Structures are given as structure tokens and as C-alpha cells.
Amino acid sequence: MSSPERCGACVRGRLVCDGTTPVCVKCVKRGTVCPGYSERLRVRWIETGRVSIRKQAIRLGEAKTPVARPLGISPEITEAITALDYYNTHIAPDLVAVDTPRNPFEISPADFPQLPRYVLHLLSSTALTHRLVRRGWRLGQPANGHHVALYRHRGEALSLLSREITSISRQNRLAILSGVLAFTLAELQHGSSRNCLKHLDAARKTLCMLGGIREIFGLDRRLDAQLAYFMIIDIMRVSTSPPINSGVANQHEYVTLIDDNLTLATCFACPAELLRKVISINALRLEARPLEWQETHTETAIGLLQHILDFDPIAWAEDAIQSGKRTPEDRCIWLKIGQVYHDAVTLYCIGSLAHVFQCANTYRLYVSSCRKTVRHSLHYHIVDLFSPRYNQLVKLSLWPLIVAGIEVTADYPDFQTSIRQYLEQVACKIGTASPYEAINYLERFWQHETQYNLFCRWETFESAMVFVL
């Protein structure tokens, strides 16, 4: 009787293999990504420039001899294993603000056999998008074989998730919520704010069925990290959208959940105190529309602006160090994060409520002077942030770049050019197409910038957009 087939890892380790398909269970328990039932190692994606010795240059997709797939394992699983490794190596680290040994977005190889099929397809789609965007691909460009595979995986993932939604169990709804939130981030990576907001709305409805975000938050570390993105996207979408009231009133329930640990679990590292102020700005924008203005709105706006100006980036950086998130040697990094977001939130407050401040005769000159000063400050800090010294902070700069792009005037064409280049750097560094969507909007805005006075620059969005990731 022939001996049972062994997977490649067990063969090399001279271990008894259980021969379980599609992956060896013993490998899973050891934390090894099972390479399948062959002595051949699985293919691993290697970035350009990472290979130190190469006898013959072979371009992607042009290998002279096809790589044999491990026996006993389907092409779908093989591709998903490769995508999982790529995701953990190149994508998950950029989903958090600071490096951590317990990144909540990493997926352990031991969990691979339990992942739903729609997650496997989503991993493959996400990995392909990341590779393409880092090579300069934009949504709408001519498709090739890799694009076809990308859309195929995305379609399969959506189809499979739709079938799962028919279940009514609470546990299944939690899994569905996690899947919908994963799609929300994937659409941002793909540069599609419209689809992202559709998934955001689906996630909101699922949360309602589960009793609300307060009932769910804290149940699972990985789900909490996804919910952090959900709250941030829901808050920040208002800043880059036409006047909307959908869901704005519900943002106040996030206030008690938002802290610095939450924001630093994402790549939107806005200090929690300032993010809570953004919620207040959004609410005031809704209440104080030009035709609904009241004197109390001006008083509220002045008080809100003063609270934002009172924020101390130095003290925030010191608190971050004291709480053990970072070493004292990185004080300048934390300070730069605080300064950039402080300036950006200040300008969002002044710019989006410009019509309210205009009605405050006593404070009009003060607010105008403050806006000009903070513009110059944000200009300086963004240029400094894109210096080699702060290279690791580039992934945190997307929304501040949008603010700078809206606030910069036609008198500074060189800075407009720099903002465009910085956004391209962000896209190539973190493999997300949202910066290209930002470039398209800003180029249209700058083309007609002279038509907008200081009171309507933040009212120029024709459709809802999201610039978080």
C-alpha cells in the first residue's frame, strides 16, 4: 500500500503529514502557510528591487516556463495563499498609523482554513489592486489580464457575500458586518468613493440590526479596528461632500468611543480631541445653512474655533510618548502629526463655516487673519512632512493634502504642483487609488478657482467623496 501524500512543508521537515486537503492541518497548527502537496515551494510576490541576485531578468507575466501548482490544491486556494502573504507583508502595515507587533489587520496563516470564500477573493482583488496602483494605474485606464483578474475576484467576492446576507443569525451578522467593512476599505483602495459609501450605508444598516455600534464595539479586536475606519469614514465624508444631512446627527454617538488608541489603529492619525471637533463642525454646518443662520450659530462657531486653536500639538506628542506608544527619540514624528492635523482641522472649521464667521463683525478680521496664518503653517508642515526625515508619515497625509489643495490660492501655483506630486507619492507608496481621485477633483477646482470666493470653497463638491485611505 502506498504511503499517504505529504505536503511540501512536512516533506522538508521530515514530519508525518495528515494529508488533509486543501491544506495540511498540522501546518496550520504550527502557524505555517501550507505550500500544498508537492516539494515545490509556493510562489511569493517580490517587489521590484528586492532581488539582490538575478541571472536572467523576467518580467511579470512573461516567464518562459509556467510554475507548477502544488498537487492537490486548487488554483483559487493557491492564489489566495499568495494574496494573503502579500496582504500581510505590504498592505496591513499601512492600515495602521504606527508599527505594532499586534496589527489588528493582519490575518494569521492559522486562520486561513476558516476564512470565507468571499474573503479569499477579496484578498486576491486587494493584492492585485495594490500592485497595479503602485505602478501608477488609475481607475478607468485600459484593462489587461491583471485588471480582468481583479474584477473577476471582486465580482466573485460580492456575489458570495450577497448569499451570506440571507442568513439571520447574530453570529453570521457579525461576520457579514466584518465583510462589508472590508469591502468599504477595498473600495477606497480602488479609488471609488461612490461604492465605498454604498458599503458604508450597508454597514450602518447591519449595525442597526445588531443594536448599534456601542453594542458591538469592544467585542473583537479586529472588528474594533474595522469599526474605527467606519466611524472615521462616516465623519470625514461630510467634509468632502455637498451639503448633506444623512447620518450627521448620529455621529455624536461616536464621541464616547473615539480616543487616540482608536485613531492610531488606522492610517488617519488625527488626534482624538480634534476628530471630536470635526463632528461638532459637521453638525454646525448642517444647522447653520445660509438660509437658516441664527446669531447663536455664530457664537457656537467662535467657541468651537477657539477650542480647536487651544489644542496643543506639543502636549499631545508628549502624552503619546508618556503613554508608551512611542519612544522619546520619535518626539518630532508625533509632533509633526499633531501639527499637520491641527492646521488641517482649523482650516476646515474656518473654511466650511466661512458664511457663519462672516456674520460676526467683531471677529471677522481675527478669523480672516487666522485663516491666512494657518494656511502658511500647513503649507510649511506638509512640505516638511514629505522630506526624507518623515517618509513613514506619508501614508497619514491624504486628508490634510485635500485641505491644503482647497485652501491654496492661485497665487501659489508651485504649491499646487507640489500637492499633485505629493498625492501621487501617497498613491504609489500605499497602493491606494484615492489620491488619484483627489487629483482629479483638485485639478477641476484649481481650473475654476478664481470663481470661488473664500466663503464657498468648501461647497464645490458635486458628489460625495472620501479621502481617508
Is residue 146, in this structure, part of any structural domain at all? yes
Residues 121 and 261 occupy one common structural domain: yes
Cis peptide before 400, with omega less than 30 degrees from 0? no
pLDDT tens digit sequence for 214-248 = 999 988 889 999 999 999 999 999 999 887 766 77
Question: Looking at the structure, do residues 36 and 97 belong to the same domain, yes or no?
Answer: no
Cell of 93: 502595515
Q: What is the pLDDT of residue 59?
A: 42
Q: Given a cut of 90, is residue 102 above it in pLDDT?
A: no
Tell me, what's the pLDDT at 157? 87
Tell whether 60 is covered by a domain.
Answer: no
In a domain, 166, yes or no: yes
Cα separation of 99 and 106, whole Å? 12
**pLDDT value at 112 more than 50:** yes
Q: 385 vs 36, 313, 316, 341, 434, CA distance in Å?
A: 45, 15, 18, 12, 19
Q: What's the pLDDT score for residue 53?
A: 42
Taking residues 167-185, what's their average pLDDT?
A: 81
**411 grid coordinates:** 497665487
| pLDDT value of position 379 | 95
| Amino acid type, 21 | T
Alpha helices in 25-144 (DSSP H): 25-30, 75-86, 117-134
pLDDT tens for each residue of 402-431: 999 999 887 788 999 999 999 999 999 889
Tens-digit pLDDT profile for residues 283-319: 998 887 765 667 788 888 999 999 999 999 999 988 8
Separation in Å, CA 155 to CA 7, 152, 202, 348, 431: 31, 5, 17, 37, 20
Together in a domain, 30 and 124: no
Which pLDDT score, from 0 to 100, does residue 84 have? 93
Task: Say yes or no: 22 and 139 in one domain.
Answer: no
Residue 43: the pLDDT is 45
CA distance 297 to 280: 12
* Residue that wins the pLDDT comparison between 223 and 449: 223
Per-residue pLDDT tens digits for 199-216: 888 898 888 888 899 999
> Is the same domain home to 106 and 16?
no
Count of structural domains within the chain? 2
Mean per-residue pLDDT over the chain, rounded: 81
Within-domain flag for 469: no
Q: Among 65-74, 254-263, 297-306, 459-468, which stretch is predicted with the lowest mean pLDDT?
A: 65-74
Cβ distance 178 to 104 under 8 Å? Answer: no
Let me know if residue 116 belongs to a domain.
yes
Q: What is the pLDDT of residue 293?
A: 64
- pLDDT band of residue 39 (cuts 50, 70, 90) is very low
pLDDT of residue 310: 96
The predicted pLDDT at position 36 comes to: 66
Which distant-in-sequence residues (6+ apart) come within 8 Å of 331 by Cβ?
Answer: 317, 318, 321
Note whether 107 and 34 are same-domain residues: no
Q: How sure is the predictor about 339, in pLDDT bands with cuts at 50, 70 and 90?
A: very high
Q: Which of residues 59 and 278 earns the better pLDDT score? A: 278
> Could you give the CA distance from residue 417 to residue 173 in angstroms, rounded to a whole number?
46
pLDDT exceeds 50 at position 141: yes
The percent of residues in the chain predicted with pLDDT above 70, rounded, is 78
Answer whether residue 359 is part of any domain.
Answer: yes
Whether residues 30 and 142 fall in one domain? no
* In the predicted structure, residue 14 carries a pLDDT above the cut 70: no
Determine, yes or no, domain membership for 103: yes
Q: State the pLDDT at residue 291.
A: 59
Domain coverage including residue 23: 8-40
Whether the model pTM is above 0.85 = no
The answer as to whether 281 is a domain residue is yes
Please check the confidence at residue 160 and state whether its pLDDT lies above 70.
Answer: yes
**Residues 167 and 32 placed together within one structural domain of the fold:** no
One domain, residues 25 and 101: no
- Is pLDDT at 142 greater than 80 in this prediction? no
DSSP character at residue 139: T
Let me know whether 29 and 160 are in one domain.
no
- 25 shares its domain with 128: no
**Are both 367 and 228 inside the same structural domain?**
yes
